[in-house]
Amino acid sequence: MPLTKSDITVLRALSDGRERETMELAASVKLDQAAVARAALALLGEAYIKQRTDTKIVAELSSEGKQVIKGGLSETKLLREIEGAAKKISEITLPEKGVALGWVKKKGYVDLKDGALSINEKGKKSLKEKEPEIKLLEKISNGEVPEEKDLFLLRSRKLADYSVRTLHYVFITEKGLEFSKGADSKEEVSELTPELLKDKKWEKVAFRKYDVSLPVAPIHHGRRHFVAQAMEYMRKIYLEMGFKEMEGSLINTAFWNFDALFTAQDHPVRDMQDTFYLDPLKGRLPAKKTVDVVKKAHESGTPNSKGWQYKWNAEDAKRIALRTHTTVLSAQTLSRMKKNGWPAKYFAIGKCFRNETLDWSHLFEFNQFEGIVIDKDANFRHLLGYLKEFFKKLGFSKARFRPAYFPYTEMSIEIDVFHPVHKKWLELGGAGIFRPEVVEPLLGEFVSVLAWGPGFDRILMDYYKITDIRDLYKNDVKQLRGMKQWMW
């Protein structure tokens, strides 16, 4: 079989007798890896070269790891801050205080007494020596590979990553060395063109041969993130049902997030344990007319309601927080509606934030989809009808509803859907009819407002067979390439 120009180039590069790794060889002969791989296959077929494979662990510093080598670990920075004198945790100014506190406690570098954090002898000793993590990072920086257990520690702290790679090495044989001395090559082409036929150049060139049975590198086309695909499908369902989309900021005042939805200012859901506040920042309240009617609803109620019977505080309502639900958009939409602007239907899909303990089923952020129908003639049976139709379009033909309680709806229900494949019920979230204390201050009169706001992430986890909710957003390229398209 005649050899191509690329084949001869690779063979001559190996004529010095040295064994080369294919990626290194590609760089030295200035050919792409695919061309070198094709040449290696051709040369192996003629027994001009031999090949061996090997595996090795390849370690690489992350951007955080590179910063740590220069500036030190977060726990070391914390120890330096309290080295002179003990400090209360609230007085520590280190930006990554939360992470640092966890590590100094785990390593036993500090003592906590009377609410103050002080460095102990073990901590003082660590300041005089290099932390084990720093030594490992320096090893990787110098081209060495630590043990796998040490690499796992660095990966868990996001300071480095590692992978096991299969390396292909090639070297020339005696037959190949002899052939390379007198070898001649032809120009390599991959297709027959009119120019080659016209001037009979085809007699002087080598046509690349293709073996369709050989494995080739997969080609990954561009695609949207699978979560974005699912959200777009959800948006399509709402639009088909005649809904208009609501949009708004992820950051809102407590007035819109809680007060406008008739959530009392002493309700536990407003505590720091559930809500991310951006203290000490304060926001602006809406027009005085809107504030006054919401205040009245809380303090003394609306017609046929006594309210919460407490002194409403405007300063609490000004606190700024990451929204804990998309229902904040429903409240803002109702407040902007003009007289007789109903019947109307709106929806929202977006991220919400709550101060949850991070584990396989909880994140600090989650996706929620919201729907509201404003219609003076709407009733509870209409709500059930909308929900059944919506989930039917989503692929769940069976839905059931259970009585529930929510601060801003009455009647209230929990929604379950029956999974057609796994033959089990999935709990998705809540729905109901907005209370008069929510609607009357915002619209000026009571009109039935049907509302639902289930979480979306549980549906995604079930559809994509994901068992850890953190895998929804870790952006693992291998996972993203292998993820099936959203087909409901």
Residue 41 identity = L
Taking residues 108-116, report their average pLDDT.
86
DSSP state of 362: B
In CATH, what number does 63-147 get? Answer: 1.10.10.10
For the chain, the structural domain boundaries read 5-59+163-207, 63-147, 227-482
- The helix/strand/coil state of 324 is coil
How do 344-353 and 244-245 pair as beta strands?
Answer: parallel
* Four-residue CA torsion sign, 21, 24, 27, 30: negative
Whether 63-147 shares its CATH topology with 227-482 is answered no
- The helix/strand/coil state of 447 is coil
pLDDT of res. 187 = 57
pLDDT surpasses 80 at 357: no
pLDDT surpasses 90 at 289: yes
pLDDT of res. 486 = 60
pLDDT of res. 148 = 83
Cis-peptide, bond into residue 411, ω within 30° of zero: yes
Pull the structure tokens for residue 171. 């070297």
Q: What is the pLDDT of residues 57-81, one digit of tens each?
A: 888 898 998 998 988 898 899 888 8
Q: What is the CA radius of gyration of the chain?
A: 33
Q: Nearest to residue 6, comparing CAs of 145, 186, 156, 217?
A: 186
Taking residues 41-70, report their average pLDDT.
88
Residue 175 CB partners (closer than 8 Å, separation 6+):
46, 47, 48
pLDDT surpasses 80 at 135: yes
Most confident of 115-124, 221-230, 432-441: 432-441
Which residues on adjacent β-strands are paired with residue 254?
none
Predicted confidence band at 90 (pLDDT cuts at 50, 70, 90)? confident
Taking residues 151-171, report their average pLDDT.
87
The pTM score is 0.58
CATH topology of domain 5-59+163-207: Arc Repressor Mutant, subunit A (1.10.10)
Q: Token match 């505590």: residue? A: 271
pLDDT surpasses 70 at 184: no
What value, to the nearest 5°, has the Cα angle with vertex 139 and ends 132 and 60?
105
Please give the residue that has the higher pLDDT: either 235 or 396. Answer: 235
C-alpha span between 110 and 125 (Å, rounded): 12
Pull the structure tokens for residue 236. 């399509």
Which residues on adjacent β-strands are paired with residue 54?
167
Predicted confidence band at 322 (pLDDT cuts at 50, 70, 90)? very high
pLDDT of res. 258 = 93
Please give the residue that has the higher pLDDT: either 64 or 424. Answer: 64
Q: What is the DSSP string of 454-487?
A: -BSHHHHHHHTT-SSGGGGSS--HHHHHHPPP--
Domain 227-482 has CATH 3.30.930.10: yes
pLDDT of res. 292 = 94
Mean pLDDT for the chain overall: 86
C-alpha span between 209 and 483 (Å, rounded): 34
pLDDT of res. 487 = 56
Q: What is the DSSP string of 184-228?
A: --BEEESS--HHHHHTTGGGSEEEPP--TTS-----------HHH
Taking residues 168-179, report their average pLDDT.
86
pLDDT of res. 196 = 79
